[in-house]
A = this chain, B = another copy of it.
């Protein structure tokens, strides 16, 4: 179950919705059994694309920002989920150290940090902020547009523990995706809980590992529902040793893109979909919508423009791109006032706690919406007459639609759990 939300959108009717709604008890039981074997990420957000004929996650964020885009009505749900999460990890906790992005005075981001601080404070923790910015040696006060303030303090490391002055936390919560690399101050914190773990950061994490895990999850889930996993799974391929700026390794990308386009074309034919397939080439370690290009014909990759080469060679925090993922493009056919929209689902522990539509008026249905100019439309709670009704026509009930989004969001979260287990450098190996 997820919060049942209303949306002003009327996306295409999805057969999937009917099947997911009918199978609700079976689905929830399946998740319960999965969570007996696997640990959910502490928090996460998932970008979805609804093509009408297919619904798939395209990005799973393990250091979610944008919490300020959720409605206030969502706060109790987030707090309740946070209570459940903390209780499992560290019930005796008094203090939580939150580590936000360094070098940011962006007020939207600060509003996100403030919201996170509020959630964990209301869950019953003293929350303070510590920064990875080593130039900060004294507490710094930052003003927010609403008149409130945030204080960011320098980290203090004492042997196996990380804290602040007079502040010894049980848990260190990262809201910094470590694109800039693994800071030594975070290594070897064996006496505390560091969440998410270091290998979830983009200095180490690879999208291809995530989508490999997602494929496994999607297959299991599709077996449960007796359906084609392709309906929820974006196909993908990968290439290593790519250097866009030098034009090296592009043959691999071209070959893989061509093969993937052929596979997608075959699927479109099977389902009678009259669309021109496309694939998305992304940095395997990228985030923030950087290092992404759309490809409709593999020939486009033979001789990319200077601009494309530059765009594709570096992602956030100057991180170099050398591995790429080539992913089936999923168009989004949801609209809000004529602007293209994609749903984003937010989770804490195993619970969906909210979501919003990312809307971009200047982008096409096949483009990435995580770009400057995007706006956010929170999904509000369902009104009484819109509470989910199993009898409602598929696509006619927004809460039913959002239940489906919550299920797919949770599948991606479960995939992240599989992924983090598979990539854990400290995992015990049983041979």
Chain A residues close to B by CB (< 8 Å):
1-4, 24-29, 31-33, 35-36, 72-73, 75-77, 79-81, 83-84, 86-87, 91-94, 118, 121-126, 351, 381-384, 387-388
Contacts and interface: CB of A to CB of B under 8 A. Distances in A.
B28 A381 contact: no
A26 B123 CA distance: 11
A150 to B, nearest CB: 15
B87 A25 contact: no
B32 A92 contact: yes
B29 A124 contact: yes
A92 B383 CA distance: 32
A32 B72 contact: no
A225 B194 CA distance: 31
**Could you tell me the dominant secondary structure of chain A's interface residues?**
helix
Contact of A80 (B35, B81, B87): B81
Contact of A124 (B1, B36, B72, B84): B1
Contacts of A35: 87, 91
Contacts of A24: 121-122, 124
Interface pairs A-B: 9 shortest CB-CB: A28-B124, A3-B76, A32-B91, A72-B384, A1-B122, A1-B79, A25-B126, A25-B124, A73-B381
A69 to B, nearest CB: 13
A92 B382 contact: no
Contact of A125 (B25, B76, B118, B381): B25
A75 B1 CA distance: 11
Contacts of A91: 29, 32-33, 35-36
Nearest to A119: B1
A171 B94 CA distance: 35
A117 B383 CA distance: 19
A76 B33 contact: no
A115 to B, nearest CB: 11
Contacts of A77: 76-77, 80
A84 B350 CA distance: 10
Among A35, A73, A125, A388, chain B packs the most CB atoms within 10 A around the CB of: A73
A123 B31 CA distance: 11
A83 B29 contact: no
Nearest to A30: B124
A366 to B, nearest CB: 33
Given A36-B91, A76-B3, A76-B381, A28 B125 contact: yes
A72 B389 CA distance: 14
A17 to B, nearest CB: 16
